[in-house]
């Protein structure tokens, strides 16, 4: 069964272009001209990934993100114009998984779609539960609890936490960590990684400003504390 992609953009030519290209690549493609229509489509057809424009009428990309993230953790890729790149970073802070900047190469967009889909599909060879302090991460069920309470993580946040927890004490360079998570071969992902680290800290750290789980190694990258 083909993966379902929901393209949300107020420009009809962009929707048509992406629909034609992604259909040729084997995806089932749905479209919506604004966040309000996208909410209805996403709730009733449950896409596997969403391509989301930011500036739209009725309900913009931020409003859509804020509302939809309360319901589902479907991978979301922000699609934005170059002069609005800072808006895309705000979208990441609100729960998007990645972003691409217009004008973009179709092959790059395709690689990023496939990367976020791989993150949702990967299952470890054996059932493995990772524990550290008050955090429990089940790799097979994709469930995380903190102090016995469930923590709602996006697919990228889950895989970021799992990668760090598998190798406590090891320092991951930003470029290495970004490449292992996104696996797209394109530059410019370290900034995206930093936003996901910040989001993850907000969800698992007692004090995100003074983290005890995910440490920053200045000038290098990040590591998960061996004994938090």
Radius of gyration of the chain (CA): 18
Average pLDDT, integer, range 115-120: 80
Query: 4-121 maps to which CATH number?
Result: 3.40.50.2300
Peptide bond into 103 cis (omega under 30): yes
CA-based nearest residue to 211, from 194, 220, 223: 223
Average pLDDT, integer, range 171-189: 70
Average pLDDT, integer, range 114-118: 85
Q: What is the pLDDT of residue 28?
A: 95
Q: What is the pLDDT of residue 97?
A: 87
- Domain residue ranges in the chain: 4-121, 129-224
| 223/177 Cα distance (integer angstroms) | 10
pLDDT band, residue 37 (cuts 50/70/90): very high
3 state DSSP class of 3: coil
| 139/52 Cα distance (integer angstroms) | 28
3 state DSSP class of 76: strand
Mean pLDDT of the chain: 86
CA-based nearest residue to 47, from 111, 3, 78, 82: 3
Q: What percentage of the chain reaches a pLDDT higher than 90?
A: 46
Average pLDDT, integer, range 91-119: 86
Contact between 57 and 35 under an 8 Å Cβ cutoff? The reply is no
Select the more confidently predicted residue: 99 or 146. 146
What is the tens place of the pLDDT at every residue in 127-176?
588 999 899 999 888 889 999 999 988 888 888 999 999 889 999 988 88
Bridge partners of 50, per DSSP, are: 6, 76
Q: What is the pLDDT of residue 183?
A: 58
Query: 129-224 maps to which CATH number?
Result: 1.10.10.10
pLDDT band, residue 22 (cuts 50/70/90): very high
Q: What is the pLDDT of residue 7?
A: 97
pTM of the complete model beyond 0.85: no
Q: What is the pLDDT of residue 102?
A: 82
What is the tens place of the pLDDT at every residue in 51-91?
999 888 888 889 999 999 888 889 999 988 766 667 777 88
Q: What is the pLDDT of residue 186?
A: 47
């Amino acid at each position: 069964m083909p993966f379902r992609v929901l393209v949300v953009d107020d420009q009809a030519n962009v929707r048509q272009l992406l629909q034609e290209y992604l259909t040729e690549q084997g995806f089932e493609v749905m479209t919506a001209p604004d966040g309000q229509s996208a909410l209805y489509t996403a709730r009733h057809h449950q896409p596997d990934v969403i391509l989301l424009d930011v500036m739209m009428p009725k309900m913009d990309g931020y409003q859509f993100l804020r509302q939809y993230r309360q319901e589902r953790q479907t991978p979301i890729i922000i699609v934005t114009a170059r002069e609005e790149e800072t808006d895309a970073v705000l979208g990441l802070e609100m729960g998007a998984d990645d972003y691409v900047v217009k004008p973009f190469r179709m092959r790059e967009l395709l690689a990023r779609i496939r990367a976020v889909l791989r993150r949702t599909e990967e299952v470890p060879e054996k059932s493995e539960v990772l524990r550290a302090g008050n955090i429990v991460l089940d790799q097979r069920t994709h469930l995380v609890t903190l102090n016995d309470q469930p923590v709602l993580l996006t697919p990228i946040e889950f895989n970021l936490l799992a990668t760090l927890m598998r190798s406590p004490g090891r320092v991951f360079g930003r470029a290495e960590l970004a490449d292992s998570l996104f696996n797209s071969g394109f530059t410019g992902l370290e900034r995206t990684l930093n936003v996901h680290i910040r989001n993850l800290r907000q969800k698992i750290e007692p004090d995100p400003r003074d983290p005890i789980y995910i440490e920053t190694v200045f000038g290098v990258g990040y590591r998960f504390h061996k004994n938090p």
